[in-house]
Structure 1
């Protein structure tokens, strides 16, 4: 279904009620757009800033149809929605990103095969369906390696690190991941982790933010720094080119993030290896709210509404740092507010628990 250019006053439907949906809704309101959020949890953070809400399961066909009728375009804040949900919505209203892009990026094996098919470097990988398949994949790729479920994993969930010298019982390892279809990925000796957040319109216009450097703690993003340390002009150009090739091949509409490893050849030359694609606004792009001329959330709204994309340069050339507030760290909000130059974002979640993202803080630092 083609996307008309939407006017201010139109309604965006957002599937998913977490902090990403919340920040999309805030950006939409700045452009005079209305928002209807669909989520199964009655206490969803995005409901606080939405003009309309639907509380229903993602597989409720009747509720989905009514939701679609009430909006002009539909988007989603996370990729783990059922394929059937996307099909129901896209039959009634323009859905961006598309159901096809969602299907490609929901399955790690499909995604890796797609990226490799474009001639873009990835970690070596093998499909694993059972214990025998895992044993064969280990024999082929060696260790260390990471075994991941093909679907429904994020922030370190749904994966097991397999290390050399440690006993591996293939049956027990598969059982620990629910005996689900998996993918084994060979180890990439990377220097750092980086990502490119980019946007594409239905007309094929493309715009990307410069690569950012990411630091993880317990598999959860802890810190993002822009510009990304260790990247030179050649590796930066390569990362931006990779993001565009992926977006074009997906015929993507909206914001996406391509997570990559920065690696060095024996001669010291830096280049990138794709880790995964996130078909949505992304945690590593939160710095853009204060640090870029157009935030990733405003950019996503522009793209799905058929509007021109905004400028992506850093504000004043500042170095930008984004820190996630995970678990109890959000309780230090008063101290953060007292620090000059800090920009605090709290997501309105009712209860902090270990590993839960409660907010983030952005600092604009002097260039250099």
Structure 2
């Protein structure tokens, strides 16, 4: 989707990936296949481009640094250094003045004994996403059993938050330090996977202003040029607490393709190429729904619906829990279908 947005602005995209059949390469000008530690392949890739970005935060930090030796990488190594490790991420949030739930490191038997954030969610510090690598625990015995099941890896125990809803702020920051925040999305997660994002969110202006301020604060604290998404909880007593960040286009911003003056993908291209940031006005109310696994097989219904905008990702095989695409319903609230 970033490659498509870049093409609209006259840029050619070259994709680097370990896979021979890269989905992004299907719509790009070129593709370099190589492992993330293949220095020669990375050099061939860097020689073909003027600026480099990444579309998910689990690219090894070494790989990003290696690319940065050759060409500008935006947003660079600093954001993924924090985003790749939940303990580092939480500590960074607090250092930046962004509140979080209570948390404890769980890296040893002593940490198990000292932990007080119960009940809570035990998560691996690295690699987990979409509900993977985590377990809900309520007792110290349950915490120990869950840690054993996760392989005694470095983990974080996050206290449960009494929240009324989940939201996300997606902020672009240009080379000149200009920031622009997309309208706040109201998110619904099921089984750890984002199911829907609705804009406008319907939340009070005070909450929306607070969320936008935190998103901009994060972008500035990271000193990034590019895009960052901040997922947050809105508590029942009105606080806004950070959950996690992603220094890239985010699933909760997919609605912007069809219902915003500038999509998050075009905004990323603008930011990393030094162009002025685009307007973020909402063109119409919208609700984005992820298509998980076999749900994408229902595509004939979506393309027949005049309020629906279907996006399929070109993935060869549908698996349970795998995001195969999304559909965004656009229009007046009285014609949008109800939430599934």
Tell me the TM-score normalized by structure 1.
0.88
Tell me if structure 1 keeps the 8 A contact 2:85–2:125: yes
Alignment equivalent of 1:158, drawn from 125, 133, 146: 133
Which residue of structure 2 lines up, in the alignment, with residue 211 of structure 1?
Answer: 184
Which residue of structure 1 lines up, in the alignment, with residue 222 of structure 2?
Answer: 250
Alignment equivalent of 1:301, drawn from 243, 255, 269: 269
Which residue of structure 2 lines up, in the alignment, with residue 78 of structure 1?
Answer: 56
Residues 222 and 169 from structure 1, CA distance in 2 versus in 1: closer, same or farther, beyond 3 angstroms? closer
Counterparts of 1:308 and 1:135, CA distance in 2:
52
Tell me if structure 2 keeps the 8 A contact 1:134–1:184: no
Secondary structure, aligned partner of 1:123:
coil
Which residue of structure 1 lines up, in the alignment, with residue 317 of structure 2?
Answer: 351
Tell me if structure 1 keeps the 8 A contact 2:14–2:30: yes
Mark the runs of 5 or more structure 1 residues left unpaired by the alignment: 1-22
Alignment equivalent of 1:319, drawn from 251, 265, 285: 285
Which residue of structure 2 lines up, in the alignment, with residue 240 of structure 1?
Answer: 212
User: How many Å apart are 1:360 and its aligned residue?
Assistant: 0.5
Name the Cα RMSD after superposition: 1.3
Which residue of structure 2 lines up, in the alignment, with residue 12 of structure 1?
Answer: none
Which residue of structure 2 lines up, in the alignment, with residue 67 of structure 1?
Answer: 45
Secondary structure, aligned partner of 1:274:
strand
Mark the runs of 5 or more structure 2 residues left unpaired by the alignment: 335-340
Per mean C-alpha deviation after superposition, the further-off stretch among 177-186 and 238-247 is: 177-186
Counterparts of 1:69 and 1:130, CA distance in 2:
45
User: How many Å apart are 1:80 and its aligned residue?
Assistant: 0.6
Which residue of structure 2 lines up, in the alignment, with residue 192 of structure 1?
Answer: 165
User: How many Å apart are 1:365 and its aligned residue?
Assistant: 2.6
Counterparts of 1:152 and 1:135, CA distance in 2:
25
User: How many Å apart are 1:71 and its aligned residue?
Assistant: 0.6
Counterparts of 1:204 and 1:68, CA distance in 2:
25
User: How many Å apart are 1:228 and its aligned residue?
Assistant: 1.5
Tell me the TM-score normalized by structure 2.
0.95
The list of structure 1 runs, each at least 4 consecutive aligned residues, that deviate by more than 3 angstroms after superposition, is none
Per mean C-alpha deviation after superposition, the further-off stretch among 27-36 and 37-46 is: 37-46
* Number of residue-to-residue matches in the alignment: 334
User: How many Å apart are 1:367 and its aligned residue?
Assistant: 5.2
**What are the Cα deviations for residues 18-76 of structure 1, in whole angstroms up to 9, with x where unaligned?**
xxxxx000100101100110111112211101111011111111111111111100000
Counterparts of 2:33 and 2:112, CA distance in 1:
40
- The answer on 1:332 being equivalent to 2:298 is yes
Tell me if structure 1 keeps the 8 A contact 2:137–2:143: no
Tell me if structure 2 keeps the 8 A contact 1:225–1:322: yes
Secondary structure, aligned partner of 2:310:
strand
Counterparts of 1:169 and 1:186, CA distance in 2:
12
Residues 340 and 202 from structure 1, CA distance in 2 versus in 1: closer, same or farther, beyond 3 angstroms? same
Alignment equivalent of 2:32, drawn from 18, 39, 54: 54
Counterparts of 1:152 and 1:108, CA distance in 2:
10
Counterparts of 2:77 and 2:50, CA distance in 1:
17
Counterparts of 1:228 and 1:107, CA distance in 2:
29
User: How many Å apart are 1:127 and its aligned residue?
Assistant: 1.3
**What are the Cα deviations for residues 221-248 of structure 1, in whole angstroms up to 9, with x where unaligned?**
111101124x211111100000011100
Residues 220 and 31 from structure 1, CA distance in 2 versus in 1: closer, same or farther, beyond 3 angstroms? same
Once the two structures are superposed, the pairs formed by residues 1-368 of structure 1 within 5 Å of their partners are: 23-137=1-115, 140-141=116-117, 143-164=118-139, 167-168=141-142, 170=144, 172-229=145-202, 231-265=203-237, 270-315=238-283, 318-366=284-332
Tell me if structure 2 keeps the 8 A contact 1:202–1:251: no
User: How many Å apart are 1:169 and its aligned residue?
Assistant: 5.7
**What are the Cα deviations for residues 129-181 of structure 1, in whole angstroms up to 9, with x where unaligned?**
123312321xx22x2101111111111111111125x94161x3223222221
